[in-house]
């Protein structure tokens, strides 16, 4: 009898231990997760307009001669004159694009001579671009392209557009919050969406000033941003 009582007591102890370890915590299971605050997410757009202040252009010379050596020598002399003319006219950042030498064939397919070409890019202020183009052509440039118009302070313009995009996002969020009978709280998330530009918007009427006319027009720099606000 005593052995039976001891065995029964041991069994009850095992069951009690198993219950303490294995039974679920009902009180903990009934706790609800912490409620997340209401939010509203909007996309804002901002842009800044500015007149271009830089012009990037390309200038080249092609020379022909009976031999490759003669073509290269003639081209080198002609290109030096063009580069010097560009510098005197106010061009900067003069950089060689390419140097080419190739045979020139006649109608029969036979090689009749050789051509050599050299091309450089240059940057000038927009107001100096007409004089730069005219000076290069006068010095012997027979391949001219451009200008590509841009702004020297494009990073600053983009930051201005980005600030306008955030303000635009706040304005949109305020409209949505008011429509829902709520008000805006703190910003909980913000993601830069990138930007575009500067891109041309329109062309101004060029003033008659002599030389090659350059119409700078207007460039637009744009930015977008996604902003999440808490709602009160």
Domain with residue 103: its CATH number is: 3.30.70.2970
Residue 4 covered by a domain: no
Q: pLDDT tens for residues 90-133?
A: 999 999 999 999 999 988 889 999 999 999 999 999 999 999 99
The crossing angle, in degrees rounded to 10, of helices 68-88 and 129-139 is 150
- 160 and 225, same domain (yes or no): yes
Residue 52 above 50 pLDDT?
A: yes
Q: Which range is least confidently modeled, 5-9, 37-41, 92-96?
A: 5-9
Whether residues 143 and 58 share a domain: the answer is yes
The H-or-E segment that residue 57 falls in is strand 54-65
Q: Is residue 32 part of a domain?
A: no
Residue 200, pLDDT score: 55
The answer to whether residue 177 scores a pLDDT higher than 50 is yes
Separation of alpha carbons 63 and 113, rounded Å:
11
> What range defines the domain where residue 68 resides?
54-150
Predicted confidence (pLDDT) at residue 75 exceeds the cutoff of 50: yes
Distance CA 69, CA 226 (A): 61
Asked if 138 and 87 sit in the same domain, the reply is yes
- The pLDDT mean for the chain works out to 84
Q: What's the structural domain count of the chain?
A: 2
Distances (CA, A) of 35 to 7, 31, 173, 177, 231: 51, 12, 22, 19, 13
Please check whether residues 194 and 172 belong to one and the same domain: yes
* Same domain (yes/no): 143, 168: no
Could you tell me if 135 and 183 lie in one domain? no
CB 209 within 8 A of CB 216: no
- Provide mean pLDDT across the span 222-226: 95
Residue 18: pLDDT band by 50, 70, 90 thresholds? very low
**What's residue 199's pLDDT?**
56
CATH number at residue 214: 3.30.110.170
Among 132, 150, 168, residue at a domain's last position: 150
Which residue, of 107, 127, 150, is where some domain finishes? 150
Whole-number pLDDT of residue 74: 97
């Amino acid at each position: 009898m005593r052995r039976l009582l001891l065995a029964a007591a041991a069994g009850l102890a095992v069951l009690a231990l198993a219950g303490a370890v294995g039974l679920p915590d009902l009180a903990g299971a009934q706790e609800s997760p912490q409620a997340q605050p209401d939010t509203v997410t909007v996309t804002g757009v901002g842009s800044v307009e500015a007149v271009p202040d830089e012009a990037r252009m390309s200038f080249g010379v092609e020379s022909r001669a009976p031999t490759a050596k003669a073509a290269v020598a003639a081209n080198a002399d002609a290109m030096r004159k063009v580069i010097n003319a560009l510098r005197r006219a106010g061009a900067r950042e003069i950089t060689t694009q390419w140097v080419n030498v190739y045979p020139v064939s006649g109608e029969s397919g036979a090689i009749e001579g050789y051509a050599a070409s050299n091309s450089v890019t240059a940057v000038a202020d927009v107001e100096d671009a007409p004089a730069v183009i005219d000076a290069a052509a006068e010095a012997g440039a027979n391949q001219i392209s451009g200008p590509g118009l841009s702004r020297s302070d494009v990073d600053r313009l983009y930051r201005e557009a980005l600030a306008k995009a955030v303000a635009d996002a706040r304005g949109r969020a305020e409209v949505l919050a008011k429509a829902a009978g709520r008000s805006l709280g703190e910003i909980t998330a913000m993601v830069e969406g990138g930007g575009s530009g500067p891109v041309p918007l329109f062309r101004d009427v060029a003033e008659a000033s002599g030389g090659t006319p350059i119409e700078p027009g207007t460039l637009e720099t744009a930015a977008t941003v996604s902003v999440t606000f808490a709602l009160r």
